[in-house]
């Protein structure tokens, strides 16, 4: 009886174990088919997508969580592909844009270089024309001065003798009248007709006036000859003050009083300068440009003021010279005009820049002056100005150009 019970228990246990094994085998098959195989297929598809970049949904994946995972992964892959594609397109567009910007920058640079080259060519052309003009002017002025100088020297040299001869004749006439107090009727008639007393008084004055005029002409000729050194190419020792005075002499007519306002005053404050080694004619050209501009500015200012204002605040130009240290001199030419705006000061020495009306200025005067001072004389030319405080141009050059 006991044996039967044990046998029955063993049989039941065996059947139970076999059932459990069958269930486990069935569950394993189910898990393998529904989980492991889809996961392996998904893994293979993912591995393949890494190489190809394309994800293909495995057909054995059933509609369950794994399929949802595969679908999600497929969506992520597609979005990633779209992102990579967009990223690639953006990179390409950025590259194209960068190349376009580089091309535009290159074209702009070429355009700037071309514009600069054109500007330099225009500048050079204008300099050549200006240089030729000044050279021709120098030759013309020198020729005119020479032709005038010869007859003026004759007049000037003979005036002294003429004055002496006239004085001798007047003395003789006085002695004659002393010893012949009662002239004949004919002499008395001629004496009254020519107004002898007036002639005796006016003739010396007339000769003095002629002497003053001759001296004036000689000064003008001297200034013309000094200024005419425009075409001299060699460095020479010169008196800077002589060049300034020559320029002022040539501009004398523009400095004189006009019908509406008085003359422009020139105040000279010359220092004790040594003779300067320089290109005299070219420096005279600089003085001419600066002084002419100052006169233009003061004339324009006076035209905009009432006579009372001009009298109350007359126009003047101040010229100061001094030695700086041991090896340089400075020349300052200042006016009491309206001043120069800062924006204009920044472009003052640019080629072709002018504030004058069309036809009244080429815009080359100050540019050439700056080049003459800085390049030819290794100096500096600066402008200092404030609104309603006038303008001052300061030239600083070495005393010696050669070592």
Contacts of residue 378, defined as CB under 8 A and 6 or more positions apart, other chains included, come to: 397, 398, 401
CA proximity to 77, closest of 116, 39, 112, 49: 49
Nearest to 242 by CA among 198, 287, 206, 201: 287
Helices 196-227 and 185-194 cross at an angle (nearest 10°) of: 40
Tell me if 277 sits within 8 A of 401, measured CB to CB.
yes
Question: What are 164's two structure tokens?
Answer: 């002496």
Predicted local distance difference test score (pLDDT) of residue 21: 75
d(CA 323, CA 241): 13
Domain 232-403 classified CATH 3.30.565.10? yes
3-state helix, strand, coil in the chain (%, to 5): 65, 10, 20
Report how far residue 345's alpha carbon sits from residue 180's, in angstroms, rounded to the nearest whole number: 79
Model pLDDT, residue 148: 76
Q: How far apart are CA 2 and CA 329, in angstroms?
A: 142
Signed CA dihedral, 332, 333, 337, 338: sign only: negative
CA 231 to chain centre: 26
CA 32: distance to chain centroid?
88
What's the confidence (pLDDT) of residue 130?
A: 60
pLDDT one digit per residue (tens) for the chain, 403 residues = 666 677 777 777 877 778 777 777 777 666 666 665 666 666 666 666 656 655 555 555 555 555 666 666 667 777 777 877 888 888 888 888 888 888 888 888 888 888 887 777 776 666 666 665 665 566 666 666 667 777 877 787 788 888 888 888 888 888 888 887 777 788 788 878 888 788 888 888 888 888 877 877 777 777 676 666 544 557 888 899 988 988 888 888 888 887 777 888 999 999 999 999 988 888 888 898 899 889 988 888 888 888 888 888 888 899 999 999 888 999 999 999 888 877 776 777 676 656 665 455 555 678 888 888 888 888 999 888 888 788 899 999 999 877 5
CB contact at 8 A, 58 and 41: yes
């Amino acid at each position: 009886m006991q044996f039967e019970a044990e046998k029955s228990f063993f049989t039941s246990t065996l059947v139970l174990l076999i059932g459990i094994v069958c269930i486990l085998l069935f569950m394993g098959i189910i898990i393998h088919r529904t989980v492991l195989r889809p996961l392996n297929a998904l893994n293979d598809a993912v591995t393949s997508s890494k190489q190809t970049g394309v994800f293909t949904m495995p057909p054995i994946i059933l509609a369950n969580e794994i399929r949802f995972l595969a679908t999600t992964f497929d969506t992520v892959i597609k979005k990633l592909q779209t992102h990579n594609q967009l990223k690639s397109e953006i990179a390409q567009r950025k590259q194209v844009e960068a190349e376009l910007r580089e091309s535009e920058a290159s074209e702009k640079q070429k355009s700037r270089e071309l514009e600069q080259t054109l500007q330099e060519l225009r500048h050079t052309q204008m300099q050549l024309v200006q240089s030729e003009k000044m050279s021709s002017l120098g030759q013309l002025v020198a020729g005119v001065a020479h032709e005038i100088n010869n007859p003026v020297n004759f007049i000037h040299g003979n005036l002294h003798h003429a004055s002496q001869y006239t004085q001798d004749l007047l003395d003789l006439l006085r002695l004659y009248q002393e010893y012949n107090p009662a002239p004949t009727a004919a002499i008395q008639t001629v004496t009254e007709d020519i107004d002898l007393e007036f002639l005796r008084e006016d003739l010396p004055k007339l000769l003095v006036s002629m002497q003053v005029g001759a001296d004036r002409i000689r000064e003008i000729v001297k200034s013309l000859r000094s200024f005419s050194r425009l075409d001299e190419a060699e460095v020479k020792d010169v008196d800077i003050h002589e060049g300034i005075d020559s320029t002022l002499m040539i501009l004398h007519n523009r400095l004189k009083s006009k019908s509406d306002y008085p003359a422009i005053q020139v105040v000279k404050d010359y220092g004790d300068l040594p003779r300067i080694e320089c290109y005299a004619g070219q420096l005279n050209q600089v003085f001419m440009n600066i002084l002419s501009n100052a006169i233009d500015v003061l004339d324009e200012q006076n035209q905009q003021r009432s006579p009372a204002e001009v009298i109350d605040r007359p126009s003047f130009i101040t010229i100061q010279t001094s030695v700086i240290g041991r090896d340089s001199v400075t020349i300052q030419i200042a006016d009491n005009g309206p001043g120069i705006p800062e924006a204009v000061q920044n472009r003052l020495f640019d080629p072709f820049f002018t504030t004058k009306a069309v036809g009244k200025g080429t815009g080359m005067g100050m540019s050439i002056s700056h080049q003459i001072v800085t390049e030819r004389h290794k100096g500096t030319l600066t402008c200092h100005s404030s609104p309603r405080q006038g303008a001052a141009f300061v030239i600083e050059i070495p005393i010696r150009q050669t070592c």
